[in-house]
Amino acid sequence: MSPAGRSRPEPWQTISSETIVADRWIRLRADECVDAVGRTISPYYVLEPSEWVSVLAVDVDGQAIVVEEYRHGAGIVASGTIGGAVEPGEEPGDAAARELLEETGFQAQEMVDLGATWANFGNHTNRVHHFLARECSRVAEQELDEGELITVRILPLAGLGEHLQQSYHQLTWYKALAHM
């Protein structure tokens, strides 16, 4: 028994699973599950996006390189870390370097792996891989994906966490603090 008088929760049993949407952006499935006490949970929707990367980039002058873009889900223009999806077969560190170059035109002298966290383990299957890109210099122009419109901003590191409005961007900032 745990301190609260209950045993540790057990994983649900998945009885069936149906793919609802599957395209280049996302997979969504509906599961029929039974929990440890026999209750049916159905449908339980699970998103299966690609693994993500989040990169806090710092230039050779010690300033933060952030991106600003429109985020349709929230309906806002927001500043954030550099990031995107890990392509099939791609290592997260390679994806971090690729996204940094594509979104900003910058390249890092050093890429520090800050570990991974679950994006939202309640209903997502993917993780966010956090990186700190050090000693970044501009080496190219942006090469944005179709549909992207990204402005690059150079900001002081001091107080940067207050400008980051997405939770995993703030977490990347927080994890990077120990390495700066």
Q: What is the mean pLDDT of residues 115-140?
A: 97
Q: Which amino acid is at 49?
A: P
What's the distance, Cα to Cα, between the start and end of the chain in Å? 43
CA distance 86 to 98: 10
Distance set, CA 70 to CA 5, 40, 74 (Å): 47, 39, 9
The region that residue 43 occupies, defined by phi over 0 for left and psi between -120 and 50 for alpha, beta otherwise, is beta
CA distance 16 to 174: 39
Q: Please write the tens of the pLDDT for every residue from 36-94.
A: 999 999 999 999 999 999 999 999 999 999 999 999 999 999 999 999 999 999 999 99
Q: How much is the mean pLDDT over the chain?
A: 94
Residue 4 pLDDT greater than 90, yes or no: no
Residue 1 pLDDT greater than 70, yes or no: no
- The count of C-alpha atoms lying within 13 angstroms of the C-alpha of 34, restricted to the half-sphere facing its C-beta, is 5
Residue pair 51/37 in contact (Cβ under 8 Å)? The answer is no
pLDDT at 2: 53
* pLDDT bracket for residue 153 (50, 70, 90): very high
Residue whose structure tokens are 């209750």: 39
Q: Supply the pTM of this predicted model.
A: 0.92
The region that residue 135 occupies, defined by phi over 0 for left and psi between -120 and 50 for alpha, beta otherwise, is left
